[in-house]
Amino acid sequence: MAGSSFGTIFRITTWGESHGKAIGVVIDGCPAGLPLCEEDIDRYTARRRPNGGPMSTARRETDKVQILSGVFEGKTTGTPISLMIMNEDQRSRDYSSIADSYRPGHADYGYDVKYGFRDYRGGGRSSARETAARVAAGAVAQKLLQLFGVECRAHLSAIGSVPSTDPAAMEELVQKCRSEMNSIGSTVICAVKGLPAGIGDPVFEKLDANLAKAIFSIGAVKGLDIGDGHLAATLLGSQNNDPFRIKDGKVVMETNHGGGILGGISTGSDILMTVYFKPTPSIALPQRSVNRFHEEIDMEIKGRHDPVIGARAAVVVESMVALTLVDAILLNQSARIDKVQI
Amino acid sequence: MAGSSFGTIFRITTWGESHGKAIGVVIDGCPAGLPLCEEDIDRYTARRRPNGGPMSTARRETDKVQILSGVFEGKTTGTPISLMIMNEDQRSRDYSSIADSYRPGHADYGYDVKYGFRDYRGGGRSSARETAARVAAGAVAQKLLQLFGVECRAHLSAIGSVPSTDPAAMEELVQKCRSEMNSIGSTVICAVKGLPAGIGDPVFEKLDANLAKAIFSIGAVKGLDIGDGHLAATLLGSQNNDPFRIKDGKVVMETNHGGGILGGISTGSDILMTVYFKPTPSIALPQRSVNRFHEEIDMEIKGRHDPVIGARAAVVVESMVALTLVDAILLNQSARIDKVQI
Amino acid sequence: MAGSSFGTIFRITTWGESHGKAIGVVIDGCPAGLPLCEEDIDRYTARRRPNGGPMSTARRETDKVQILSGVFEGKTTGTPISLMIMNEDQRSRDYSSIADSYRPGHADYGYDVKYGFRDYRGGGRSSARETAARVAAGAVAQKLLQLFGVECRAHLSAIGSVPSTDPAAMEELVQKCRSEMNSIGSTVICAVKGLPAGIGDPVFEKLDANLAKAIFSIGAVKGLDIGDGHLAATLLGSQNNDPFRIKDGKVVMETNHGGGILGGISTGSDILMTVYFKPTPSIALPQRSVNRFHEEIDMEIKGRHDPVIGARAAVVVESMVALTLVDAILLNQSARIDKVQI
Amino acid sequence: MAGSSFGTIFRITTWGESHGKAIGVVIDGCPAGLPLCEEDIDRYTARRRPNGGPMSTARRETDKVQILSGVFEGKTTGTPISLMIMNEDQRSRDYSSIADSYRPGHADYGYDVKYGFRDYRGGGRSSARETAARVAAGAVAQKLLQLFGVECRAHLSAIGSVPSTDPAAMEELVQKCRSEMNSIGSTVICAVKGLPAGIGDPVFEKLDANLAKAIFSIGAVKGLDIGDGHLAATLLGSQNNDPFRIKDGKVVMETNHGGGILGGISTGSDILMTVYFKPTPSIALPQRSVNRFHEEIDMEIKGRHDPVIGARAAVVVESMVALTLVDAILLNQSARIDKVQI
């Protein structure tokens, strides 16, 4: 079934495999009149790109985005915006070690059962490379949010149990994992400021439900907290409820245990999310596994892999949140009869 | 926008307010030929119903479900199944204390901003009573899962920090909350056994993404773990990867840190989820808040409220998971050209 | 699959069989603040109801609509509006003549192949009675259109080859059909006035494409013209193009061959549609057919049937058009960045 | 809103403007395992391409399709198939005559009202060039239909009032239109053979409703008949009903007034549709119109334009029908509980 689309009004469709000719995304439903150029998008994809630093793969990806449609005289036209990134680093190589084997922690086995076979080159469609297309689309969503006065930012908050407030210990941990041919989990925090109250829909299209879907659609995410999240399960009601107050004539909340959403609808407080990533499944250490002939094997995964996912994934989280918020804002245009424009 | 529907092939639409005439759900897309009667549904709605025990409200709800359409000669016909539950306990009462005020931890304020006004009687559409319709639909999904050999079960695993393995301490904690006019958070675990590998779609329709949306669409959910969840963020790759093995000629996994899903597709291992509920926001203790005239007030919430949500919500989690799985299984029918039936 | 829903933002889901307990519709996505009462709906369902006149069945249907949810203090709340009509005339009768046989011109055979069996009582889900739910929902859409200044009206324009401008000949033709145990085709014209230019979306969600789907979803429709329709296929470009002019400072068109839509987007001219209905398939004359045991049979269809469909179906056409227009207007709220409200 | 997607399970999204860098389509939800190469697609796009014959424009379009993703080792993988066609003939030219003016019969005015401005180069997104992407996607759908044993074919059946059985008169009429700087309407017939009974969904997702949407989404379509179509409105029931018979042990129909669909579900008879196209709106004759400054003007449309649409549009009709049928067949996989595969 068609699983590569996200959103209702502002709707994206991504395509492309890790080692195919190109990857891309079609954005349909972007309002007309938004100034947009390729540099606007490059700013975001650059944040996802491997930077040669200690936390990232050595793979070269320039991720230069081409706008193929939907922009005329520097502005969006309301019609589909097609963005494409050529795959420059398609070195021919020997995939025999993984073509028939199922890498632990990867989607290989599920794909084979589901589809009968798979594009095994670099993970094919399940590669993290697919997220470059999400970030390209997210850049457009971010431009819209800025126009609406909404700021959406995500950052790496911990590697393993080491918080990002201790960068030296964090880097040491990453180097240790790398030298031990291992990897480590990580945590990303995303905060949204300036979103007005009243955004999101009741029941199944709650704002937090759609944010959860957006975030769990990122590979390697295993946990999500909204506001106090899993800690709220241990609190008393009197501790967890956020009192309403009036400040400068506006309704505000004194605390923000709820993370800015109540009953699926934004309250005007900051939206706060904590996203938990598992360790990179591709590790160079020998692992026990099986192949598609149902034989038990030992395998070692070669190649260039980040030892930690959260560093480069923060901008992916940010993009998915931005895409979700833009769609929710556009859907909200028809909530009240006195706001409908004819 | 239309937020009250869930699912693509097996699609439900719920309707109704806490203190309106009735609530209900329309199930569209249920395959024809499933034996179904009202008793099948009552078994599930009974688990959600207040039972007069220490953890539940004193409200009387018989929740007797009527099948109004879609079943003929004891079997589903493939056309919409309309289920209705009359609201028996619509005592006329005085809502003046909440009609104009915003209860902390509730959706009142967001609804007023979004829609301009709200049905304030008992929480209206944002009441937990809406979940009775989900459970009624979930009962139909559960019947399908049983036919498919899939078992889906959820249970309360902790109240506050007390695990369900210590029922005496758990009950003591609830009684304490009740006597102190307070409430407490809770944790629910859901496990799915027997789901074959290959279910779920890549990218945005990942099985875990849809489960996350399903679960965060339940009011009061603030956190979700799949498999090891937030703890995976502190593990090494060598700890977190689940080795594949062969057992009785089939591919299995030695451990289950991943919770049965890799790359958004089921692996055949049990699906494991931990759901974190905030404390019931309705507490009798005095709270600071505001009203719709933007005045600061003190308010006390009268009425019958559960001190803990997870006890009655476990069957709601189970229902949302069952609905998600049935839809994913039906969507999977067209994954491979050699499986398409013409 | 879930085929009983229509619309994206303003979305309806109908349910119920001809001879079940009730039929109904859930409207999700209606903007909050619309004044609505049961009498508003009864005005429309009354037009669909058999009136005992020469063109209609003798079946008694009071079609009294109950509003079960979504309206509070006389106004829509933005949450689902559940409408129900009890089936009062469920006389127990002998269906043995049609339970196993396939009535020519009816959906019986297709249902049996698709679903394995069917609710054969009075046509079950494929009965024209289902359209009463559409008309109830259409009444709400019409109230919205009136607020927007849009007038949507349909009327019977011909029975067989006799135009409605000759009512005496029309009635004579119907009486002749009835006395000969036969039926006759009919034509309905629908005109929309006051719809502003710019409504409808390019490519696949063209306004005319969605109107066509809406109208062909009505049973017995076999043809549709937009504007000059099938006659446009014989015209020259110089005859068919509608010249733009300026009138009172506004862009208008001198003629209206196009029927108010160009490139899928409204032009501000009246929208004109001609809908062609086949004759009622239920006729009392003996017909050759087969049964589900694959035996050839002769069958006579008993019971009360309209000899012509268009008379009562005009309000169904009107309702489907109104539902389509409301959804298109609401979807158009986010077309331009300078119109988005935050 | 997102109007450039079509289909539920087998879902396409087209993008691109007439004079942009490229046009393309993403096909999501194609079952895995279908053999596919670029030549398979070129066979269909060649039929839409201007061929230099008397009925077509002189514009050079090679329409060479590139497969950018979704195919591995010669077979579809189940993931999105991205197809791209570069726009080779992007000669820089002077658009000043149409940039500010509204061509009669075109979407120019509606786009300007809807979006505030438009890509005026060659019609931008509303150009017939967009249909090349539909035909590329349709080629994939046709490959699937062939596997399913279904044949779907469309052909030009008339130009103006001259039937295709008189090619000499047809060509003469076209030459006359061309020499008089005029254009002429046309008719296309589409027939589907081999589709089994039981395909299509009741109520709003009727097979004929979705076919109607598919066909009216093609620019310049103004009328559609299913089976006898508009002529059915003048028939008696005894003339129009198709008697069921048994032939070689199978249920068949003696006649086919209904065009192969009853109650929205296929009957196993051939599906027959007649599609009516208006004359090409771009004519070289002087026309009265207005510009965006609301001034009345006279305009002459320069450039290369087909004098008749139906000749090249037949394959577009065929493609849209094929896309609709494939989606309906895939959706039908979950109609019956005894057919669901687990």
Task: Quote the CA–CA distance of B145 and D192 in Å, as a whole number.
Answer: 37
Could you give the CA distance from residue A83 to residue A69 in angstroms, rounded to a whole number? 8
Whole-angstrom CA distances from B98 to B20, B124, B278 are: 17, 12, 21
Q: Are B286 and B299 in contact (CB under 8 A)?
A: yes
**Is the pLDDT confidence value at C257 over 70?**
yes
* 3-class SS string, C169-202: HHHHHHHHHHHCCCCECEEEEEEEECCCCCCCCC
What is the Cα–Cα distance from B313 to B96, expressed in whole angstroms?
29
Chain B CA closest to residue D144 = B337
Contact check, Cβ <8 Å, D33/B331: no
What are C86's strand-pairing partners? Answer: C22
Interface test with C, best of D8, D102, D241 (most C CBs within 10 A): D241
Q: Do D233 and C208 touch (CB under 8 A)?
A: no
Please provide the average confidence, as pLDDT, over all residues in chain A: 94
Helix residue ranges, H only, chain D: 38-48, 96-99, 108-115, 131-147, 167-179, 207-216, 237-240, 310-331
What is the Cα–Cα distance from D240 to B232, expressed in whole angstroms?
Answer: 67
- Min Cα distance D112 → chain C (Å) is 8
Give pLDDT, residue D109.
Answer: 97
DSSP code of residue B51? -
When CB atoms are compared, the residue of B130, B222, B225 closest to A228 is B222
Alpha-carbon distances, residue B87 vs B60, B132, C22 (angstroms): 10, 11, 18
Residue type, A262: L
What mean pLDDT is predicted for residues D32-44?
A: 97
Q: Which residue has the tokens 């890498």?
A: A103
- Lowest-pLDDT choice from B252-266, C325-339, D12-26, D120-134: D120-134
Given a cut of 70, is residue D57 above it in pLDDT?
no
Say if the Cβ atoms of D16 and A80 lie within 8 Å.
yes
Give the H/E segment covering residue C298: strand C296-299
C36-90: pLDDT as tens digits: 999 999 999 999 887 666 666 655 667 899 999 999 999 999 999 999 999 986 6
Q: Tell me, what's the pLDDT at D326? A: 98
Q: What is the pLDDT of residue A197?
A: 98
State residue C218's pLDDT score.
Answer: 98
pLDDT at residue B63, as a whole number? 80
Question: In the predicted model, is pLDDT for residue A89 greater than 80?
Answer: no
Q: What is the mean pLDDT of chain D?
A: 94
A146 to A45, B109, C19, D225, D248: CA distances (angstroms): 18, 25, 56, 49, 68
How far does B77 lie from chain A, in Å, by closest CA?
24
Q: Which amino acid is at D1?
A: M
The band of A54, judged by pLDDT with boundaries at 50, 70 and 90, is: low
Q: What is the pLDDT of residue A302?
A: 82
- The residues, ordered by sequence, that sit 6+ positions from D152 with a Cβ below 8 Å of its Cβ are D142, D145, D190, D191, D192, D318, D321, D322, D325
Is B329's CB within 8 Å of D342's CB? yes
Please check the confidence at residue A273 and state whether its pLDDT lies above 70: yes
Residue B114, pLDDT score: 97
8 Å CB contact of B333 and D335: no
In terms of Cα–Cα distance, which of A203, A256, A196 is closest to A226?
A256
**Tokens representing residue C10 in the block:** 């303003």
Runs of H (alpha helix) within chain B: 38-48, 96-99, 108-115, 131-147, 167-179, 207-216, 237-240, 310-331
Would the pLDDT of A64 be above 70?
yes
- Report the alpha-carbon distance of residue C319 to residue C142 in Å, rounded: 8
Which pLDDT does position B98 carry in this prediction? 82
- Smallest CA–CA distance from A118 into chain D, residue: D77
Q: Residue C341 contacts by C-beta under 8 Å, 6 or more apart in sequence? A: A333, A339
Sign of the torsion formed by the C-alpha atoms of A102, A107, A109 and A112: negative
Band of pLDDT at residue A92, cut at 50, 70 and 90: low
- How many other CB atoms are found less than 10 A from the CB of residue B137? 30
Percent of chain C with pLDDT over 70: 95
pLDDT at D302: 82
β-partners of residue A253 are: A244
Ranges of residues in chain B with a pLDDT under 50 are none
Taking alpha carbons only, the member of A142, A130, A244, A133 closest to residue A192 is A142
pLDDT computed for residue D304 by the predictor: 74
* The pLDDT value given to residue B59: 59
Q: State whether A148 and C340 contact (CB < 8 Å).
A: yes
Q: Do C29 and A144 touch (CB under 8 A)?
A: no
The answer on pLDDT for D185 being more than 70 is yes
- Tell whether the torsion through CA atoms of B251, B256, B261 and B262 is positive or negative: negative
Percent of chain D with pLDDT over 70: 95
Task: Classify the C-alpha dihedral A137-A138-A139-A145 as positive or negative.
Answer: positive
Nearest CA of chain C to the CA of B78: how many Å? 6
- pLDDT of D108 over the 60 cut: yes
Instruction: Measure the CA–CA gap between B82 and C47, rounded to whole angstroms.
Output: 26
List, for residues B79-105, the tens digit of each pLDDT value. 999 999 999 866 657 777 789 999 999
pLDDT at C284 over 70: yes
User: Furthest-apart CA pair in chain C: how many Å?
Assistant: 69
Q: Report how far apart the first and last C-alpha atoms of chain A are (Å, whole number).
A: 37
Mean pLDDT (whole number) for D255-272: 98
- pLDDT reading at C287 higher than 90: yes
Average pLDDT over residues D121-139: 94
Confidence check: pLDDT of C93 > 90: no
Dmax (CA) for chain B in angstroms is 69
Sign of the CA dihedral running C224, C229, C233, C237: negative
pLDDT at B92: 59
Residue of chain B nearest D203, judged by CA positions: B79
User: Among candidates B14, D20, D214, B339, which has minimal Cα distance to A114?
Assistant: B339
- Beta carbon pairs, A and D, within 8 Å: 156
pLDDT at position D62: 73
Residues D49, B167: Cα–Cα separation, whole Å: 75
Task: Output the pLDDT for position C209.
Answer: 98
Q: Which residues of B297-312 are buried (b: 16+ CB within 10 A; e: fewer)?
A: eebebeeebbbbbbbb
Size of the A and B interface in Cβ pairs below 8 Å: 408
What is the band of C302 on the pLDDT scale with cuts at 50, 70, 90? confident
At A200, is the pLDDT very low, low, confident or very high (cuts 50, 70, 90)? very high
Tokens of A19: 């080692």
What pLDDT score was predicted for residue B304? 74
Residue with tokens 């589909």: A80
Classify burial at D240, counting beta carbons within 10 Å of its beta carbon; exposed 0-12, middle 13-18, buried 19 or more. Answer: buried
CA distances from A27 to A9, A11, A164, B205, C30 (A): 10, 6, 34, 17, 27
pLDDT of residue D35: 98
Instruction: Indicate yes or no: CB of D17 within 8 angstroms of CB of A72.
Output: yes
Cβ(A276)–Cβ(B232) under 8 Å?
Answer: yes
Q: Which pLDDT score, from 0 to 100, does residue A95 have?
A: 79
Residues A215-221 have a mean pLDDT of 97
Residues in D touching C234 (Cβ below 8 Å): 160-161, 185
- The answer to whether the Cβ–Cβ distance between C32 and A335 falls below 8 Å is yes
